[in-house]
Amino acid sequence: MNQDILALIQENMNTFSKGQKRIAAFILESYDKAAFMTASRLGKKVGVSESTVVRFAAELGYDGYPDMQKSLQKMIRNRLTSVQRIEVTNDRIGDQDLVSMVLQSDMEKIRLTLEELDRDAFDHAVKAIVSAKRIYIIGVRSSAAIASFLGFYFNLIFDNVVNVTAGTASEMFEHLLRVGEDDVVIGVSFPRYSSRTVQAMSFARDRKATTVAITDSEASPLAPICKYTLKARSDMASFGDSLVAPLSLVNALLVAVSRAKNDDLANTFQTLERIWEDYGVYEKVQE
């Protein structure tokens, strides 16, 4: 179901029962909180039974309450302000052990990423990267950490990597000035999605480059403009984002690329090890 759930609720308001109207009113007013409530908790909040909440979801055309909740969560993720994120997270955690909840949530995101990853898209992206004339990596704001990590290791593997780290939109396009159909452009973006990254990836697509998105879902604005979409589950960790699963996906991408470049890579690292040794790049730890 692609329609915005809030618009769907407003369109059907006149058809709801009294209890369903209370549910609808609460969701419209506090969708940021409703998205993370169980059916039982939502029912208690507005004074109706859990079964009324379940029927409300069915009335809207969903396959059950979890399906409606998933739709609501997807819709809100790019709308929430930092303040709303903090409020929602505090509400979700409640009296639970904070460390356990966050770490278990991260583990679950990795599990879901493994289950949902498009292996064909992954394999095609690896082949495109290995054979590219130039590799551009774009990631700003919180996604810059993932892009920087990927860029650091790609620069050890390849001699044709461009890390697009421009501070303004105009500088970003200057970095992409010579991008063309023999190049690969990797865009990293998670909610709240960066408009600069979306614009840059649209530019790369229009220039016939092979575009690869590392993002969270098909609902991401990068998905429809990229040839290959590699999805990794992300979630709110208070005002920030949990990027554990995206980093794990990038690790898999690095291993796959390094295996494809195995012979060349061995020679490269033999040279690097000599340089690191000669210039004391790493501390020698006594056992």
| Residue 91 near residue 45 (C-beta atoms within 8 A) | no
Question: Would strands 135-138 and 184-188 be described as parallel, antiparallel, or unpaired?
Answer: parallel
Tokens encoding 155: 């620069």
* 109/93 Cα distance (integer angstroms): 17
Mean pLDDT of 265-285: 69
| Confidence tier at 240 by pLDDT (50, 70, 90) | low
Q: Is 73 exposed, middle or buried (0-12, 13-18, 19+ CB in 10 A)?
A: middle
C-alpha 123: how far from chain center: 19
Q: Looking at the predicted structure, is the pLDDT value of residue 281 above 90?
A: no
Q: What is the pLDDT of residue 3?
A: 55
Write down the pLDDT at residue 108: 83
- pLDDT tens string 65-110: 998 888 887 776 655 555 555 555 555 555 667 687 778 778 888 9
Q: Which of 232-241, 242-251, 276-285 has the lowest mean pLDDT?
A: 232-241
Tokens of 180: 């063309």
Mean pLDDT of the residues in the chain: 83
pLDDT at 175 > cutoff 90: no
State residue 114 phi and psi, 5-degree precision: -60, -40
Q: Helical H runs in 187-232?
A: 195-206
**Could you give the CA distance from residue 178 to residue 8 in angstroms, rounded to a whole number?**
44
- Domains of the chain by start residue, with CATH: 5-76 (1.10.10.10), 110-278 (3.40.50.10490)
- What's the pLDDT tens digit per position in 127-157? 999 999 999 999 988 889 999 999 999 998 8
Q: What is the length of the chain?
A: 287
pLDDT score at 238: 45
Summarised one tens digit per residue, pLDDT across range 178-225 is 999 999 999 999 887 888 999 999 999 999 999 999 998 887 889 999
The token pair that represents 98 in the structure block: 């904070």
Region 43-57: what's the mean pLDDT? 92
Identify the pLDDT of residue 204: 95
Question: Residue with structure tokens 């810059």?
Answer: 144
pLDDT value, residue 284: 72
Q: 43: helix, coil or strand? A: helix
The per-residue pLDDT for 203 is 94
pTM: 0.68
- Residue 266: is its pLDDT beyond 90? no
Residue 14 confidence (pLDDT) above 90: no
Letter string b/e over residues 82-108, b meaning 16 or more CB atoms within 10 A of that residue's CB: eebbebbbeebeeeeeeeeebeebbee
**From 22-31, 200-209, 233-242, the region with the lowest mean pLDDT:** 233-242
The answer for residues whose C-beta is within 8 angstroms of residue 39's C-beta and 6 or more apart is 50, 53, 54, 57, 65
Banded model confidence at residue 120, pLDDT cuts 50, 70, 90:
very high
Nearest-angstrom CA–CA distance, 121 and 258: 17
Q: What is the mean pLDDT of residues 13-41?
A: 86
> Confidence class of residue 239 from pLDDT cuts 50, 70 and 90?
very low
